[in-house]
């Protein structure tokens, strides 16, 4: 009973309930210009995450509300070590190696074995890229404040924390041309660009923002695939990209293994993909 009461007090101490849903985005074919002013940000290729802190109590929750804390102990330890007593941050968990963000490395963390998780945390530590502040260091809830105020307060908070490899502030701009450059460069570390109304509040669970993805296509030959859970969908593909072949070197360097593609497609698309590649 004592342990349960202590846990309840910790949960109640957060400035916002742990079931607070992040504000979401709907897709569009191009960056918005009307109905502004707009703030544009890179759309990171990671795990969307809300980070809650109150004293020593720290929680990471996914976009779907699932706990992520046990999978990223190094992030929890860093946030707990901060002198700032409380906040609620909105951001993206990413793992960087050799100057690139590795989505597969994030997925490898979702494992039941704590020993494996801690080993991966030491080998490829994650970082939290933050882009919104839902509650400040005094516990003041900022959901009704316009983005321009929340962003300013977020910048001040990150400034107090200082430069860190574990916590970074996402770039942002009000210049459409800069956003177009980000969109054009998207592909490796980012999926595209997210647009947010500067004068808008933070509305949990609602698709208020606008996301624009860079769509790229390639002709390829599927050489093999691996089933996902209970053979309901295709999870991995082995493909050949003829465009990568050179006149002097055929095939060897053009075979690419696409891992964990299931996470990038909607459920219906995964089934359709399975039906297309399974010719038995």
Nearest to 72 by CA among 18, 34, 110, 17: 110
How confident is residue 2, by pLDDT bands cut at 50, 70 and 90?
very low
Highest mean pLDDT among 8-17, 196-205, 216-225, 248-257: 196-205
> Do residue 243 and residue 148 come from a single domain?
no
> Do residue 197 and residue 231 come from a single domain?
no
Average pLDDT, the chain: 85
pLDDT of residue 242: 66
pLDDT of residue 196: 98
87 vs 275, residue with greater confidence? 87
Asked if residue 60 lies in contact with residue 76, where contact means CB atoms within 8 angstroms, the answer is yes
CATH number at residue 130: 3.30.470.30
Domain stop point among 213, 248, 268: 213
Q: Is the pLDDT of residue 92 over 90?
A: yes
User: For the chain, what percent of residues have pLDDT higher than 70?
Assistant: 78
Q: Is the pLDDT of residue 224 over 80?
A: no
> Do residue 231 and residue 170 come from a single domain?
no
Q: Is the pLDDT of residue 4 over 50?
A: no
244 vs 168, residue with greater confidence? 168
Q: Which of 21-25, 77-81, 206-210, 227-231 has the lowest mean pLDDT?
A: 227-231
What are the angstrom distances between the C-alpha of 229 and each of 142, 191, 208, 217, 241? 41, 26, 33, 27, 27
> Do residue 139 and residue 270 come from a single domain?
no
pLDDT of residue 145: 98
Residue 70: give the domain boundaries. 2-213
Catalytic residues: 43
pLDDT of residue 6: 46
> Do residue 172 and residue 238 come from a single domain?
no
pLDDT of residue 187: 75
Q: Is the pLDDT of residue 222 over 90?
A: no
The count of domains in the chain is 2
> Do residue 123 and residue 255 come from a single domain?
no
What are the angstrom distances between the C-alpha of 59 and each of 68, 74, 99, 102? 8, 12, 28, 23
Q: Is the pLDDT of residue 15 over 50?
A: yes
Domain stop point among 213, 241, 262: 213
Whole-prediction pTM value? 0.79
Q: Is the pLDDT of residue 190 over 60?
A: yes
Domain stop point among 166, 182, 213: 213
Q: Is the pLDDT of residue 210 over 80?
A: yes
Evaluated on CA atoms 189, 194, 198, 203, the torsion sign reads negative
> Do residue 65 and residue 121 come from a single domain?
yes
> Do residue 194 and residue 262 come from a single domain?
no
> Do residue 176 and residue 265 come from a single domain?
no
pLDDT of residue 1: 38
pLDDT of residue 58: 96
Q: Which of 74-88, 185-199, 228-242 has the lowest mean pLDDT?
A: 228-242
Q: Is the pLDDT of residue 180 over 80?
A: yes
Asked if residue 190 lies in contact with residue 45, where contact means CB atoms within 8 angstroms, the answer is yes
> Do residue 135 and residue 158 come from a single domain?
yes
> Do residue 35 and residue 164 come from a single domain?
yes
> Do residue 204 and residue 246 come from a single domain?
no
Q: Which of 65-74, 180-189, 258-267 has the lowest mean pLDDT?
A: 258-267
Mean pLDDT calculated for residue range 160-187:
93
Asked if residue 40 lies in contact with residue 220, where contact means CB atoms within 8 angstroms, the answer is no
């Amino acid at each position: 009973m004592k342990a349960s009461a202590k846990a309840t007090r910790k949960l109640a101490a957060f400035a916002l309930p742990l079931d607070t849903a992040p504000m979401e985005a709907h897709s569009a074919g191009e960056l918005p210009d009307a109905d502004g002013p707009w703030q544009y940000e890179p759309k990171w290729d990671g795990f969307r995450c809300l980070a809650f802190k109150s004293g020593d109590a720290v929680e990471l929750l996914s976009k779907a509300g699932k706990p992520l804390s046990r999978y990223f102990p190094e992030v929890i330890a860093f946030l707990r070590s901060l002198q700032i007593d409380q906040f609620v941050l909105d951001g993206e968990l990413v793992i960087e190696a050799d100057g690139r963000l590795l989505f597969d490395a994030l997925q490898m963390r979702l494992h039941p074995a704590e020993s494996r998780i801690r080993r991966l945390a030491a080998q490829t530590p994650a970082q939290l890229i933050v882009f919104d502040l839902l509650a400040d260091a005094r516990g003041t809830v900022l959901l009704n404040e316009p983005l321009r105020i929340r962003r300013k307060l977020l910048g001040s908070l990150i400034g107090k924390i200082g430069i860190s490899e574990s916590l970074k502030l996402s770039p942002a701009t009000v210049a459409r041309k800069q956003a177009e450059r980000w969109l054009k460069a998207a592909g490796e570390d980012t999926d595209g660009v997210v647009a947010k109304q500067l004068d808008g509040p933070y509305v949990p669970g609602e698709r208020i923002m606008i996301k624009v993805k860079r769509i790229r296509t390639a002709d390829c030959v599927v050489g093999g695939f691996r089933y996902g859970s209970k053979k309901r969908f295709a999870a991995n593909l082995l493909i050949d990209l003829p465009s990568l072949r050179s006149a002097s070197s055929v095939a060897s360097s053009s075979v690419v293994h696409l891992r964990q593609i299931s996470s990038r497609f909607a459920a219906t698309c995964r089934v359709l993909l399975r039906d297309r590649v399974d010719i038995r």
